[in-house]
A and B are shown apart, each in its own frame.
Chain A
């Protein structure tokens, strides 16, 4: 079942491009990564899903219901964490969380305590006395306290120290195990790589790639580095599928995509000292898509 279905969603701000024909689905129970640099349209997409802004054309469904028409209803089961969190400054953390909980028709007080403990958050402080990182923690607790079925995160980790990031990811993985679907928008690719099964890459308002991380890695380039006993002709490895060939003395490095046997035969035909074969990480794949044009 699809928790999110986005169908040709388009948003223009006057004449300025927001997003164009964005379509993808997020299945129940998956952690879906939504990646792209700042200004590519990640937040525009998310804000439309949350009916904070209205699409110019196209539509989106959450839990099978139109996200604009049934906005208030579907938001009962959505937890949202924006990249920058702002709350009523003069409130105490606990009062803000209680206010937040009062919108959901269930008792969240136990969950608030649990989450505050995990995130090491002082509930008695006033919001305006909190540091940026601590405000972010309030955001996390606020987004998760009603145990939502869909968690939408827009650049969630900025401002969190590595330790808290770790705890936060564990928390998300736990929620996911309990059945929550997660949409994670980010430009920090190693966090996407760590958490997500599938990703969509957005560039200048358009989705340019939609796939699982594993298959993206599979049918993508592999990195080769070969140390030779003695120098060979520079063009020895210059065959179909080889890219970014670099020869430095006795060390040759390149990227390769194609039949793996072909390249292995090429390697085995010469005398080598050592060989390293690596998959590209998401960042390199991402850069690859971005540099294409």
Chain B
């Protein structure tokens, strides 16, 4: 659990973060949204004290971060940054093993862990363990960056615009990976982004920052249906609000179980937005739905998309 109480960061007369109070519960995926200069990165870096806060209190699992040695505090949480920052003179295996090594793991244990994480992030360990960062594409580098942050398997993961430098295809693939990791491990994730679709897709709660202040904190559906300020309203977009709403709901939530329909099935875990897209593209008003095992699970009708 991460708690911020009336946290302020001043640089001289300027205020980067103004009086933010926020509690991020264990296992929560919290996205911090906002434009550039809104203070979202500063807020994240105050949690691991890369930036010291000027006022207020920050607690991690009930402990005041100021009471802990900075290095010890940071070793309790994974950290991923937009510029990736792999150590260029170390192999992929050693990069991933950074925190295990700091924690005094045996070398073989750290290497096994690195191999397992590469496997999980879809980079064949045999091929990648002994490569150097410059031999990897940017997308592969960020996969290694994520593996490095997960290596010691801490409960908390801080991510500072982790996918900002990636092309759209790699970005979507990595979004899926991180969503899967969170589903499987129930980590507490704080995720800074300026991409609303990314936040809506991944987060269980979204904190919107505007000019140093926290202007709204809510679930994706709350943000879409009840934006508190004009800034949030602009951020979630007026034109494609309906599409965004469809994007955060799953096919499984609206389908009619047991009913059968002809055609190529859509996965129950796909979003309603994907379902609508298929209906429009294929000119059909219903789609068969397949469960996790691939067996027919039901049917989704066009009208079902309008139900609340």
Please say whether chains A and B are actual partners in one complex.
Answer: no
